[in-house]
């Protein structure tokens, strides 16, 4: 059973997410909160597998609550899925930088909601939707963005190639196919990238790929 906490300032949204998430019987909402401060307390109390986190909330917003969850060693296995709308692209980018495993649009279908919860509960990042690459690419393309490839200097040429594919949103199997590797070897490379770059998950690898200029919009 996957346990989740829903943090959103709208009671109707929390009620709807509970009903949708619990439909198949393998996901249980163990707690709710109407703001980030209370949500953080509930997460520390209940230690869920996944947190569904809204961004705009009173007292403590979802970005800061996400940062605090990620920074707490006692919550190292808690995964955060940020809830957002299309007009919050920059907030989504900041949430991923803060350590969120991914994000969902608030109009997500019931099936996709449950799939997303299962994906991040299993330790993966929700990066498949093309909108993720659009968000990160549009921000990386801004003139004020300062690119620094220093973190990449510890990587081999092959590791850079794998990171580039991760930055494009490819899964391990897709990376294996693109680079003529076995799926097991692709997984090994991704694990090595996480360790070498000090990244929490694939979401942060994507951010690094854009911030270092390895990936640029349109490539």
Q: Residue 27: in which H helix or E strand, if any?
A: strand 27-33
Question: Which contacts of 9-17 are long-range, i.e. CB under 8 A and separated by 24 or more positions?
Answer: 9/34, 9/35, 9/54, 9/56, 9/57, 9/58, 10/54, 13/54, 13/83, 13/106, 17/52, 17/113
Query: If DSSP codes are grouped into helix, strand and coil, which group holds residue 98?
Result: helix
How much is the pTM?
0.73
Print pLDDT tens along the chain (219 aa): 999 999 999 999 999 999 999 999 999 999 999 999 999 999 999 999 999 999 889 889 999 999 999 889 999 889 999 887 755 556 666 777 778 887 777 877 899 889 889 988 887 766 544 455 555 555 555 555 566 778 889 999 999 999 999 887 777 888 999 999 998 999 899 999 999 998 877 777 887 887 788 876 544
């Amino acid at each position: 059973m996957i346990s989740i906490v829903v943090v959103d300032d709208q009671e109707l949204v929390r009620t709807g997410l509970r009903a949708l998430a619990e439909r198949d019987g393998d996901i249980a909402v163990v707690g709710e909160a109407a703001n980030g401060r209370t949500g953080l307390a509930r997460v520390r109390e209940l230690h869920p597998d996944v947190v569904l986190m809204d961004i705009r909330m009173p007292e403590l917003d979802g970005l800061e609550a996400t940062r605090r969850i990620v920074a707490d060693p006692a919550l190292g296995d808690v995964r955060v899925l940020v809830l957002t709308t299309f007009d919050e692209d920059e907030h989504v980018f900041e949430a991923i930088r803060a350590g969120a495993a991914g994000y969902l649009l608030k109009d997500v279908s019931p099936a996709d909601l449950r799939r997303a919860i299962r994906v991040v509960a299993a330790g993966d990042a929700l990066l498949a939707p093309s909108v993720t690459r659009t968000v990160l690419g549009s921000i990386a393309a801004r003139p004020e963005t300062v690119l620094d490839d220093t973190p990449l200097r510890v990587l081999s040429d092959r590791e850079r190639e794998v990171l580039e594919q991760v930055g494009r949103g490819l899964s391990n199997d897709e990376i294996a196919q693109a680079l003529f590797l076995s799926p097991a070897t692709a997984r090994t490379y991704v694990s090595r990238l996480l360790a070498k770059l000090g990244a929490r998950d694939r979401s942060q690898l994507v951010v690094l790929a854009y911030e270092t200029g390895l990936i640029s919009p349109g490539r």
